[in-house]
Amino acid sequence: MQPGYFFEGGAELVGKVVLVTGAARQLGGRFVRRIQRDPEVERVIAVDAVSPPQRLGSAEFVRTDIRQSAIARVLAEHAVDTVVHLAVTGGAAGAPGGRSAVKETNVIGTMQLLGACQKSPTVRRLVVKSSTSVYGGTSRDPAVFTETTQPKSLPSAGFAKDAAEVEGYVRGFARRRPDVAVCVLRFANILGPFADSALAEYFSMPVMPTVLGYDPRLQFVHEDDVVDVLRLAAGEPRRGTLNSGTFNIAGDGVLLLSQCSRRLGRPTVPLLLPAVTWVGSALRAVGVTDFSPEQIRLLTHGRVVETSQMRDTLGFKPMYTTVETFADFARSRGSGLLPPERVERAVRRAAAVLRVEGQEIGAGVDEGAKR
């Protein structure tokens, strides 16, 4: 028990019991370690089907599969009042059981968990991790998605479809249990030094295949911000804010895929769209990376979301912008075949050959900015 606990007055003095699903994953583990340090949290129950590779601190780990009804017993046994559902994932390339197991955990697991929550009299708050991929992404979509944008075409398979279905069940649950505060967080692509997502793997390839003739706009959110916003959503709302509802979570700004590859120093190979699909399945067969059709969709049309709800209603301000998130990720991955610094030096050398001094390049920058 935290020392600060006794100084907090009022009704919140009742220590909270937080249940976190998907705790064996990188992000879940970090969140479990972080939330147990919060003064109003009394106990943290971490749940996953596999044992966590990292330590979870003082949290209590319960090894159970959320696809089974046993999860209801866990909820009742520990009198859980806050459920943070993080077991909605795209699944890494090497995940056991492959895509169908991931899908089952996402969809059936969510149904079981929601069923358990519905029966539990103690649950007061539910936080669900979703993704901005529920918006799909086609050439006919508006450039920026808001929380109310209806997708032009629903994702037909993959994680995006799972997330859309999960959100549908969560909406149903919210209708049936209006007394439970439900918060759905739609995260943009999560990156950071420890990211293990499919996109992080893609950015780690020595040569990145891209779709010829398309330069998608990408948005990132930093792992640290993800943990922070989950904490915000799992706690009591601060004055003047509301933490139930659906929110887009993304860092400010936009990076084009071409900018990403140049900043990483990794060359790209533009391929025709059918060829990308083919190369993608070949890479997946070898187990290099999870190059799903949905990822190809992201790398074709990109996805940008509006985050004013996150700022104004949820009251969350991310620490990292999209550019800073990407820079942090790039630092952790080491340089590619064409590090930007070396390219920059080459240009300077060319400038020296042309007898133009570095100072004048600076002047040229100013002039360029003025134009």
Partner 1 sequence: MADAKVIPFDEDRPRRRGAVRKVRAVPDPAEPAGSSESVEPGVGSGPEPAPAGAGDGWDRRIAGGLAFLRRRITGEYEVDDFGYDKELTDQVLMSLLRPLYDKYFRVEVKGIENIPKEGGALIVANHSGTLPLDGLMLQVAVHDRHPAERHLRLLAADLVFMLPVVNEVARKAGHTLACAEDAQRLLEAGELVGVMPEGFKGIGKPFGERYKLQRFGRGGFVSTALRAGTPIVPCSIVGAEEIYPMIGNAKTLARLLGLPYFPVTPTFPWLGPLGAVPLPTKWTIQFGEPIPTDGYAPEAAEDPMLMFNLTDQVREQIQHTLYKLLVQRRSVFF
Q: How far apart are CA 233 and CA 229, in angstroms?
A: 6
If binding is defined by CB under 8 A, does position 361 make contact with partner 1? yes
If binding is defined by CB under 8 A, does position 290 make contact with partner 1? no
Tell which one of 9, 53, 100, 139 touches partner 1 (CB under 8 A).
Answer: 139
If binding is defined by CB under 8 A, does position 142 make contact with partner 1? yes
Tell which one of 11, 143, 285, 286 touches partner 1 (CB under 8 A).
Answer: 143
Q: Which stretch binds partner 1 (CB under 8 A): 10-18, 116-124, 137-145, 165-173?
A: 137-145
Helices (H) then strands (E): counts for the chain: 13, 13
As measured in angstroms, the least distance from the Cβ of 142 to partner 1 is 4
Tell which one of 215, 228, 236, 324 touches partner 1 (CB under 8 A).
Answer: 215
Cβ–Cβ contacts within 10 Å for residue 50, how many? 12
The answer to whether 276 and 296 have CB atoms below 8 angstroms apart is yes
Size of the site for partner 1 (CB under 8 A): 46
DSSP 24-86: TSHHHHHHHHHHTTSTTEEEEEEEESS--SS--TTPEEEE--TTSTHHHHHHHHTT--EEEE-
For residues 97 and 362, which CB has a smaller minimum distance to partner 1 in the complex? Answer: 362
As measured in angstroms, the least distance from the Cβ of 366 to partner 1 is 9
As measured in angstroms, the least distance from the Cβ of 275 to partner 1 is 12
As measured in angstroms, the least distance from the Cβ of 171 to partner 1 is 22
If binding is defined by CB under 8 A, does position 168 make contact with partner 1? no
Cβ–Cβ contacts within 10 Å for residue 4, how many? 10
If binding is defined by CB under 8 A, does position 214 make contact with partner 1? yes
If binding is defined by CB under 8 A, does position 302 make contact with partner 1? yes
Beta bridge partners of 245: 183
For residues 235 and 265, which CB has a smaller minimum distance to partner 1 in the complex? Answer: 265
As measured in angstroms, the least distance from the Cβ of 252 to partner 1 is 9
Q: How far apart are CA 80 and CA 361, in angstroms?
A: 62
If binding is defined by CB under 8 A, does position 368 make contact with partner 1? yes
If binding is defined by CB under 8 A, does position 360 make contact with partner 1? yes
If binding is defined by CB under 8 A, does position 311 make contact with partner 1? no
As measured in angstroms, the least distance from the Cβ of 174 to partner 1 is 26
For residues 122 and 258, which CB has a smaller minimum distance to partner 1 in the complex? Answer: 258
Q: What are the structure tokens assigned to 246, written together?
A: 């659906």
φ and ψ at 312, to 5 degrees? Answer: -85, -45
Where on the phi/psi map is residue 269: left (φ > 0), alpha (ψ -120 to 50), or beta?
Answer: beta
For residues 101 and 327, which CB has a smaller minimum distance to partner 1 in the complex? Answer: 327
CA distances from 182 to 123, 126, 242, 247 (A): 11, 5, 11, 11
HSE value, Cβ hemisphere, 13 Å, CA-based, for 78:
27
If binding is defined by CB under 8 A, does position 259 make contact with partner 1? yes
Tell which one of 87, 120, 129, 141 touches partner 1 (CB under 8 A).
Answer: 141
The answer to whether 304 and 145 have CB atoms below 8 angstroms apart is yes
Considering only residues 260-289, where is the footprint of partner 1 by CB under 8 A? 260-263, 273
Q: How far apart are CA 271 and CA 363, in angstroms?
A: 38
**Angle, alpha carbons 54-56-57 (nearest 5°):** 125
For residues 11 and 354, which CB has a smaller minimum distance to partner 1 in the complex? Answer: 354
Binding-site ranges for partner 1 (CB under 8 A): 139-144, 146, 149, 211-215, 217, 253-256, 258-263, 273, 302, 304, 340, 343-344, 347-348, 350-351, 354-356, 360-365, 367-368, 371
